[in-house]
Amino acid sequence: MPEVIRAGNVNPELDLQRIQEQESRLRFPAFDQNTAWQLGVALKARAEALGQAVTIEITLGGATLFFHAMLGTTPANADWVRRKRNLVQFTHTSSYATGLALTRDGMTLETSLALPARDYAAHGGCFPVIVTGCGCVGTITVSGLPQRDDHALVVEVVAAHLGLAPETLAF
C-alpha cells in the first residue's frame, strides 16, 4: 500500500470533493463482527508499518466491535475517538468532511448543530460504515495522527479491504 499522505497545503474544497467520492465508493455489501476484526487488525498493522501509534475503534449499531490503543497513545486518544464517533453517528458523514465544511462556512459544531465540543469533534479520523441498501450502520475511527492522516489511514485500509486501489481514493 502507498504511504499515508501527510497533510501539506490542503485545499478544503478539493478534499471535500474527494471525501464525497470516498463515501460514495467505500460501501460494504455487509458488515459484521468478522469484518470489524479484519479491518481493525489491518488498521493496526498499517499504523505499525508506518511507525505510528493510533487508537482504533470500530462500531456497529452502537456496539463496539473492535478497540485497540497502541503503545504510545494516551487516554486522550480514546476520548478523541469517542468525540469523533459521536459526530459521525449524528451526521452519517466523515468527521473530516464535517470539520472542513464548518471551517469553510465560518461555523462551529455549537453554532451550526448545537453540539457541545466536549462530546463531539469535527476532526478527521472517523468514517461512516455504510452498507449498500442500509445506510450508515456504524463507524471506523482512528486517533493519533494529524486529522487528515487519520482520515487517509482509514480510507486506505477500507479501500484495500473492499478490493479497491487505495491510491484511486487518496488525497
Please check whether residue 7 lies inside any domain of the structure: no
Please check whether residue 119 lies inside any domain of the structure: yes
The x, y and z cell numbers of residue 83, run together, are 468525540
Domain containing residue 126: 12-166
Please check whether residue 102 lies inside any domain of the structure: yes
Query: Per the confidence metrics, is the pTM higher than 0.85?
Result: yes
Q: For 46-93, write each residue's pLDDT tens digit.
A: 999 999 999 999 999 999 999 999 999 999 999 999 999 999 999 999
- Specify the CATH number for the domain of residue 91: 3.30.450.150
The x, y and z cell numbers of residue 65, run together, are 466491535
Split into its structural domains, the chain has a count of 1
Please check whether residue 36 lies inside any domain of the structure: yes
Please check whether residue 5 lies inside any domain of the structure: no
Residue 38: exposed, middle, or buried by beta-carbon count in 10 A (0-12, 13-18, 19+)? middle
